[in-house]
Amino acid sequence: MNYKFELTEQPAQPVLSMRTRTAVGNLPQELGKAYQAIFQYLSEVGEKPLDAPFAGYYNMDMQDLDVEMGFPVAKPLAGQGEIKPNEIPAGKRVSCLYKGPYDQTEPVYNAMMQWIDENGYTPTGVAYEFYYNSPMDVPESELLTKIVFPLK
C-alpha cells in the first residue's frame, strides 16, 4: 500500500494531558475517561481544544502501554489533579494520515519506520496519534488517524 508521508518542522505545542500505564485492551476506556475529564476541565476554565484529541505512546508494550492522552491547547494552561500541562516538543516530525480501523495501523507504522530509516532520521521514541473522528460517530473504515513520529 502507498502511504503519503509529510515531513515538517513544528514549534512546541502546549497540551493538557493525563498519563497512565494500561494494557491495549483497556485503552478505549482509558482514552474515553481522560478525554472526557480534560474536555470538562477545559470547559470549566473557559478554554477549548486547539485540535483533535491525541495519544502519545512512550513504548509499544501492548500489555503495559505507557500512554499520554490529551488535547492540544492554544497556550500553556494550569492542570488540575491528574490533568497536567505538558507539550509536544518542537522539532522535525514525519506524519501520515491513515483512514481505517485502529487495529490495522501496524503496516503504516512499519512503513513509516522504514521511511525514517531510509531517509537517515532517528525517531525520538515517542509516537503520537491524533484522532479526527470517533468509532461512535463513523464506521471503522472511515476512522481518520494522524500518526506522527517526532525525529531527532
Of the candidates 114, 92, 94, 108, the residue with the CA atom closest to the CA atom of residue 143: 108
Residue 118 forms part of a structural domain: yes
Of the candidates 140, 148, 137, 127, the residue with the CA atom closest to the CA atom of residue 66: 127
Q: Which domain holds residue 96?
A: 6-150
Residue 1 forms part of a structural domain: no
Extract the C-alpha cell encoding 29.
Answer: 476506556
Over residues 50-60, the pLDDT tens digits come to 999 999 999 98
- Structural domains of the chain, count: 1
Return the ∠ at Cα 34 (arms to 86 and 140), rounded to 5°: 115
On average, the pLDDT of the chain sits at 96
Over residues 2-50, the pLDDT tens digits come to 899 999 999 999 999 999 999 999 999 999 999 999 999 999 999 999 9
Residue 51 forms part of a structural domain: yes
The kind and range of the H/E element at 109 are helix 106-118
β-pair type (6-10, 91-99): antiparallel
Q: Is the pLDDT of residue 1 over 80?
A: no
pLDDT for 51 equals 95
Residue 27 forms part of a structural domain: yes
